[in-house]
Amino acid sequence: MEESNPNVSLVSCMHFIKRGIAKAVPEKIELTERELAKIIKQTANDLKIAEEGEDDSETEERPSAADPPENPEDEFNFEKYDEEEANQTIGLESVATLPNLGDLNENVNIRTEGPDSDEEDDIIKPNDNLLLVGHVESDASVLEVYVFNKEEGSFYVHHDILLPWFPLCIEWLSHDPSDPNPGNLCALGGMDPVIQVWDLDIENCLEPAFKLGKKPNKKKKIKRVGHKDPVLDLSWNKNFTGSADNTVLLWDLDQGAPHTKLDYFNDKVQSLVFHPLEAQTLLSGCCDGVARVIDCRTSDAHRAWPGPGEIERVVWDVHNPYCFAVSNNEGKVSYIDCRQTDPLWSISAHEKEVTGLLISEQCAGLMVTVSTDGKMKTWDIKKLVYSKLLIDLSQSGAPSQVSERAGRVGQALCAALCPDAPFSLAIGGDNKERYIEMVELDINEEVKNRFGSRSLVLVTSDEAEAPMET
């Protein structure tokens, strides 16, 4: 009988980081074999307690004790490591983790100089962008940190971080509770309800800088903190998280605990994004098809727009600050003005769910969609101006499709526009041979002719109109 191949290789989420934020040469942690063994021993008990602390798991089968090593001084049997059977599987729970950087043995070296640091690829240049990628390879989940340089045409993995679970969302943030200076961190949400925050300026790190949330533990009388189901999306400003438990949490990063809980959602909160110009305004999209605009200053102040299907992505249009777009699992995209009840327009953009929905913050009117139908499309959504003095939103025309391209990544699962190169796009999918690709939109003649003559602008909060009301 022919065996099926269970292996998968896909990109589930991604996020670009602006130039000039990352350290030129990230610090590196190096552990000796003996120090690694000590860390494994130190955390083994914590791992057991964590496994026993899950809900409804008061009694679990205990694994049989392993045979003692022949050499009592070699507790982890490193001498015969290479003789172990090749088919022996190692679960993620057996991977060593560091308790905290501050708890490391004084002999652990954080190295910033050495042979590797002299290599050009190890140096992050001022005109490099970092792309954070959640990559799932068979049973392993990894955060890959790519370097993208538009001018040099380079795109490669700089370093990676092993993750304990399937990643679902990534968000960059600069706030480190332990350091008054701005940092270079990323928050990761996934199948586990506890959010991990990693320091991107440290390589070979085995433990996140800090975590948001705790699982309950009856033996230690620890109550749950945070979500109870997978974290589906993250948006950093006041640091909001949306979850499959139908809630949105506002976190106090300094305390590591939720500050506000929004629980008026009727289904999983699939997508979250703060307004780029108004720190208090949050946009959410749920699996019940309802998009909401929330004023975070008053948790009950929100307005809802119901729609068909399940919402996949939501995104603000910074060039029209009152407007946002919504995509769903039926391939539709709608464009909504917060001041109106009905969408300004709705289109059938794809045959399947629209998993990537992007509106350029620099090129007015440029919208990009990607879908599990394997296609990428560009659209012109610039509003029709009928008078120099008045823009009648009710007369805005539906968007026109500019280009269509068959992707190389299989079913497209996510996409991200480069913040410093407005026509550079990263797409992630489920093609095992090529699960990620960079696309230069302006190579396409239709895109170049439509958007090439438009001025690139960066809208700031000083140029925004009066604050919107919900």
Task: Please check whether residues 30 and 177 belong to one and the same domain.
Answer: yes
* CA pair distance 432, 421, nearest whole angstrom: 27
Task: Please check whether residues 43 and 155 belong to one and the same domain.
Answer: yes
173, 208 Cβ separation under 8 angstroms? no
Q: How is residue 267 written in tokens? A: 């289904």
Task: Please check whether residues 47 and 180 belong to one and the same domain.
Answer: yes
The CATH number that applies at residue 415 is: 2.130.10.10
Of 217, 216, 243, residue with least CA distance to 229? 243
Task: Please check whether residues 193 and 335 belong to one and the same domain.
Answer: no
Task: Please check whether residues 156 and 14 belong to one and the same domain.
Answer: yes
Average pLDDT (137-146) is 93
**What residue numbers bound the domain in which 138 lies?**
1-56+72-212
The predicted-structure confidence for 17-60, as pLDDT tens digits, reads as follows 999 999 998 888 776 777 667 666 666 655 555 555 554 444 33
Give the model's confidence band at 184: pLDDT under 50 very low, under 70 low, under 90 confident, else very high: very high
> Which of 190, 212, 234 is the last residue before a domain boundary?
212
Highest mean pLDDT pick, 59-73, 88-102, 239-253, 409-423: 409-423
Task: Please check whether residues 76 and 179 belong to one and the same domain.
Answer: yes
What pairs with residue 437 in β-bridges? 427
Q: Burial level of 263, CB count in 10 A (0-12/13-18/19+)? A: exposed
Q: What is the pLDDT of residue 110?
A: 43
- In terms of pLDDT, which residue wins out, 153 or 219? 153
> Which of 164, 196, 212 is the last residue before a domain boundary?
212
The predicted-structure confidence for 189-230, as pLDDT tens digits, reads as follows 989 898 999 999 999 888 899 888 888 778 777 888 778 888
Looking at residue 467, the DSSP 8-state letter turns out to be P
Task: Please check whether residues 12 and 146 belong to one and the same domain.
Answer: yes
H or E element that contains 234: strand 231-235
Q: Residue 65 falls within a domain, yes or no? A: no
Task: Please check whether residues 25 and 140 belong to one and the same domain.
Answer: yes
242, 291 Cβ separation under 8 angstroms? no
> Can you give the pTM of this predicted structure?
0.78
Q: What is the pLDDT of residue 84?
A: 47
22, 179 Cβ separation under 8 angstroms? no
Mean pLDDT (the chain, rounded): 80
Contacts of 279 (CB under 8 A, 6+ apart): 237, 238
Q: How is residue 81 written in tokens? A: 């490591």
Percent of the chain exceeding pLDDT 70 equals 73
Intra-chain end-to-end CA distance of the chain, in Å: 61
Percent of the chain exceeding pLDDT 90 equals 50
Task: Please check whether residues 200 and 319 belong to one and the same domain.
Answer: no
Task: Please check whether residues 312 and 178 belong to one and the same domain.
Answer: no
Q: Residue 277 falls within a domain, yes or no? A: no
Domain count, the chain: 2
The predicted-structure confidence for 331-372, as pLDDT tens digits, reads as follows 999 999 999 999 999 999 999 999 999 999 999 999 999 999
The predicted-structure confidence for 375-430, as pLDDT tens digits, reads as follows 999 999 986 433 333 344 444 568 999 999 999 999 999 999 999 999 999 999 99
Q: Residue 298 falls within a domain, yes or no? A: no
> Which of 212, 227, 260 is the last residue before a domain boundary?
212
Q: How many residues does the chain have?
A: 470
Residue 56: CB atoms within 10 Å: 5
Q: Residue 411 falls within a domain, yes or no? A: yes
- In terms of pLDDT, which residue wins out, 390 or 283? 283
Residue 314: CB atoms within 10 Å: 23
Contacts of 336 (CB under 8 A, 6+ apart): 291, 305, 323, 324, 325, 326, 343, 344
Q: What is the pLDDT of residue 313?
A: 97
Q: Residue 382 falls within a domain, yes or no? A: yes
Average pLDDT (1-28) is 82
Q: What is the pLDDT of residue 220?
A: 78
Q: Residue 333 falls within a domain, yes or no? A: yes
Q: What is the pLDDT of residue 100?
A: 39
* CA pair distance 313, 235, nearest whole angstrom: 13
* CA pair distance 417, 361, nearest whole angstrom: 9
Q: Residue 241 falls within a domain, yes or no? A: no
Residue 465: CB atoms within 10 Å: 9
Task: Please check whether residues 322 and 191 belong to one and the same domain.
Answer: no
Give the model's confidence band at 290: pLDDT under 50 very low, under 70 low, under 90 confident, else very high: very high
Task: Please check whether residues 185 and 315 belong to one and the same domain.
Answer: no
381, 418 Cβ separation under 8 angstroms? no
Task: Indicate if the pLDDT at residue 309 is higher than 50.
Answer: yes
226, 206 Cβ separation under 8 angstroms? no
247, 226 Cβ separation under 8 angstroms? no
Q: Residue 76 falls within a domain, yes or no? A: yes
